[in-house]
Amino acid sequence: MSLLERVSTLLRANLNDLVEKAEDPERMLKQIVLDMENQLLQVKTQVAVAIADQHLLEKKRAEHEQQAAEWRRKAELAVEKGRDDLARAALERVLSHNQLVAGFTTQAEDQKHEADNLRQALRKLEQKLSETRAHCEMLAAEHRRAKVVGRASKARQVVGVDQESALNRMKSKVRVKSAENAATSELMDADTLEDKFQALESEDKVENLLNEIKSRQVERKSA
């Protein structure tokens, strides 16, 4: 595959489709950026070579144009001096240089066309590379933001679970304490009721003893 074909393939690549299909989009985009940077460097080198070759061909064409003009001047001089044989020889050199001029002109035009194509590919690749870098940076930012959001969500879940556990423990403690208080209250109430009955029984005994004493006194007086 030629350099321009490889560049064309990169330019036709649909980044959105590639991102959606990639298992690791960020890594994939970084690799594309590296490929583009490599191709960009090669295109820049080829553009420089193409321009240099174009200038060399144009220089060669100009040299042969000058030589053709010089031999034409010599042919005119030979005609003036009546030396047709020298004039014919000079004109043969003119024709030879003119043929070379035509050849170098064609090559220079073809080289210019090639250089223009490379320049255009270079501009498009630079633009595509800039877009891809921006896309990669945006995706990386989204990836980092997603990680932060994920950690925050997980933290909220953990906090929520801890809070729920704490509330459940507190509720359990409250229920246990309530049960203890109820039991204590029942015990206290039971003790109090028992004490009341004991007090009543004690009152009866006291009354019986009092009645016994009164009866004895009455009996003594009667005797």
**Domains of the chain, each with CATH number or no CATH:** 3-171 (1.10.287)
107-163, pLDDT tens digit by residue? Answer: 999 999 988 988 888 888 888 788 778 877 777 777 677 767 766 666 555 545 555
pLDDT at 189: 52
25-40, pLDDT tens digit by residue? Answer: 677 777 777 887 888 8
- 54-63: long-range contacts (C-beta < 8 A, 24 or more apart)? 54/108, 54/111, 54/112, 54/115, 57/104, 57/107, 57/108, 57/111, 58/104, 58/108, 60/100, 60/104, 61/100, 61/101, 61/104, 61/105, 61/108
Nearest to 140 by CA among 34, 36, 24: 24
Between 37 and 63, name the one with better pLDDT: 63
94-122, pLDDT tens digit by residue? Answer: 999 999 999 999 999 999 998 898 888 88
pLDDT bracket for residue 59 (50, 70, 90): very high
pLDDT at 190: 47
pLDDT at 179: 63
